[in-house]
Amino acid sequence: MSKALQLAFEELGVREISGSQHEARILQYAAESGMDYINDDETPWCSVFVNWVCTKSSLPTSGKPNARSWVNVGTTTNQPKPGDVVVFWRESVESWKGHVAFYLGHSPDMNKVFCLGGNQGNEVSVAAYDANKVLRYQVLEGLTPSGVPAPTLKSGSKGDEVIKLQIALNLKGYSVGDPDGDFGKKTESAFKRFQADNGLKIDGVYGRNTKALLESLLQE
């Protein structure tokens, strides 16, 4: 069992408190995940719980309380394993609403996905969700930086240096899918989001300034 899944299982039974009081452990999840602005246990906290587990397990985090923030963290897979993160849509695919938890497995008929997560029945629990409402399965385990790539890289670049960039982007939450060494449209789109979020010129070109920033971020 992975460290993250083991830690999540240890939290089973942590539950919201009805009324004006708030469960201290849930507030601790938020504070230790960098979301200390959350000061109640009524705010949906499924993403808070996953962020907390991943923070404690030295895995990539979304750093955000909304469930759908996890669709860009890690690497997307169609063959999930226990401990991967699963993101669901809620109400409609187009809605901003969702749910996030740790994947445990499918029912025999593949219609249900069993998950371990927070805010499931107002507590940390194991629950089954409709498999048709899955948005993404995201792999977090095993994502480690393989070195900071040398500049310059841009659309059309190929090779090992692109793989290094793709792994780094996945690790920091900008999903490019499986690293394949091809600086294509998906990598370019993820890289431009990275540039935009970090105040860099949004030109899709990996240069010396980006290299210095990426080195710094990967040391955090």
Q: Which domains does the chain have, with CATH numbers?
A: 3-138 (2.30.30.30), 160-218 (1.10.101.10)
Residues of the chain with pLDDT under 70: 1, 142-147, 219-220
pLDDT (0 to 100) of residue 57? 87
DSSP string, the chain: --HHHHHHHHTTT-B--SSS---HHHHHHHHTTT-TT---SSS--HHHHHHHHHHHTT-----SSSGGGGGGSSEE-SS--TT-EEEEEBSBTTSS-EEEEEEEEE-TTSSEEEEEESSSSSBSEEEEEEGGGEEEEEE-TT-----PPPS-B-TT-BSHHHHHHHHHHHHTT---SS--SB--HHHHHHHHHHHHHTT---SS-B-HHHHHHHHHHHT-
pLDDT score, position 220: 60
Tell which residue, 23, 54, 56, has the closest CA to residue 38: 23
* pLDDT attached to residue 72: 81
**What pLDDT is recorded for position 102?**
97
Q: What is the pLDDT of residues 169-198, one digit of tens each?
A: 877 878 887 778 899 999 999 999 999 999
42 CB neighbour count, 10 Å cutoff? 12
Strand order in the sheet with 98-106: 75-76, 134-139, 85-89, 98-106, 112-117, 125-130
pLDDT of 85 reads: 96
Q: Nearest to residue 151, comparing CAs of 211, 101, 91, 63?
A: 211
pLDDT at 170: 78
pLDDT at 118: 97
The percentage of the chain sitting over the pLDDT mark of 70, rounded to a whole number, equals: 96
Angle between helices 24-31 and 46-56 (to 10 degrees): 60
Position 31 scores a pLDDT of 95
Tokens 């629990």 found at: 125
Predicted model pTM? 0.68
Give strand pairing partners of 129.
Answer: 113
